[in-house]
Amino acid sequence: MNLMKQTECTTILVGKNASLDGSTIIARSEDGGRNIIPEKFEVVMPDKQPKHYQSVISHQKIDDDDLLDNPLRYTGAPEASGDNGVWGAAGINSENVAMTATETITTNPRIQGIDPLLTKGGIGEEDFVTLTLPYLHSALDGVKRVGYLLEKYGTYEMNGMAFADKNEIWYLESIGGHHWIARRIPDDAYVVAPNRLNIDEFHFDSDGFMSDQNLKELIDEYHLNPDPDGYNMRHIFGSSTIKDAHYNNPRAWYVHNFFNPEFGGKPGDQNQPFICHANRKISIEDIKWVESSHYQDTPYDAYGDQGTPAQKKTFRPIGINRNFETHILQIRNDVPAKFAGVQWLAFGPNTFNSMVPFYTNVTTTPASFQTTPKFNLNKIFWLNKLAAQLGDTNFRVYGELETDFEQKSLAQCHKIQHDTDKRATNFAGKDLQKELEAANQKMADQVYDNTVELLGNMVDEGHGLMTLKYDLLD
């Protein structure tokens, strides 16, 4: 099976009482491999939702009865080419239910020997958003829907995904070929989930925890639980490898210490907690900074001056050249439901981009965010890729320019959003959607122009730093 996977993501979840403004927030950087995977921003209208579905990668056909009647409108951030399927990534539907899928996670040979991942058929990251988001009326609906699909069709990969409505957040992880677990995130908590199986403490038959019906019996029958008391799903179904210690755990460690400086510990620690509580309310800017982080102020920062060359390559950062799309899905509780859903979106490496807070009660998206598969500087995806690759040549010089650009862009977007929120209370229906679409366009245009300005400033600063130069005054 040819798996064109985006395998390198980092998920952040923030409960409504842990966020700065009382929103539920689910976020993820969608990363890929060595090849560039262009992503776009779109709205899927109900009449465009497929009535018949077959996966491109696995060729799995979905029964028509499972493509429910009356699908909802929803946003998505799929691959631009569509050659490998949809890969919808993340979005918010017209009922203000958000979904991000998926976080590629780890497993172990014990569960693979009992319920192997499929080698033929099954559903995966390519399919989950398309088959789930248009049919959800609550976050809990997302858990039930995906659980049903996993049990019926199976999967060829291990994945984590999150669902949110205005009240709650649920995080689900697939187990082997057909099993799954899910946990409700406490309202006052946050979660960082890198590419490992993340759910630890688990209580069967308790509020806030769900799984397939036979999972507890499977654990007991096959003697899978290594702990004398309770159930820790990471110990039972996950991994604890050298790769985890270098690739996954350090990302969680860095986020924990950002939100809780007293956390301490070591980057490779295998038992870092799933449910955490920050020492302050978490803002959108906090999440963007975390998703852009590269171990600043530690010896492990590739751009820093503290560590040795070997230390700078020791751990995989969150912000990386393979960030292709990053989203922060926000369901707000301090505004009317008709414009409460906001999909913050950025393309390209997070070290040199800015988030844009797009309203999701719309029928179209700005043209600059409708990415073309091939290089095109009219599209923000490609402009951000160019800025990041130029900025990477001398982060000490260009990094401050990026900071100024991002601060300016976020401030302008916040201002447009505040003004639009005030006006939008007076609109409804199609008139409201036109108002929100106009605001989205204004924010997209502003950030595009700011990115062009950033590139110009980088060219000005870099002119005198070129190696290929000869000055009579040198």
pLDDT of residue 184: 98
In a domain, 408, yes or no: no
pLDDT of residue 7: 59
Q: Which of 204, 160, 210, 166 has the alpha carbon at shortest distance from 184?
A: 210
Beta bridge partners of 39: 79
In a domain, 388, yes or no: no
In a domain, 470, yes or no: no
Active site residue 9: yes
Asked if 1 contacts 154 with a C-beta cutoff of 8 angstroms, the reply is no
In a domain, 319, yes or no: yes
In a domain, 261, yes or no: yes
In a domain, 473, yes or no: no
Signed CA dihedral, 431, 133, 29, 388: sign only: negative
Catalytic residue among 9, 13, 140, 210: 9
CA distance 198 to 138: 23
Q: Long-range contacts: 204-209, Cβ < 8 Å, 24+?
A: 204/231, 208/183, 208/184, 209/181, 209/182, 209/183, 209/184
Q: Which CATH number do you get for residue 302? A: 3.60.60.10
* Residue burial 242-253, b: 16+ Cβ < 10 Å; e: rest: eebbebbbbbbb
| Residue 341, CA distances (Å) to 65, 72, 99, 102, 328 in order | 29, 14, 12, 20, 11
In a domain, 380, yes or no: no
Count up the domains in the chain and report the number.
1
pLDDT of residue 474: 61
* Residues of the chain falling short of pLDDT 50: 2, 6
Q: Which of 213, 250, 265, 210 has the alpha carbon at shortest distance from 233?
A: 210
In a domain, 182, yes or no: yes
Domain that holds residue 368: 10-373
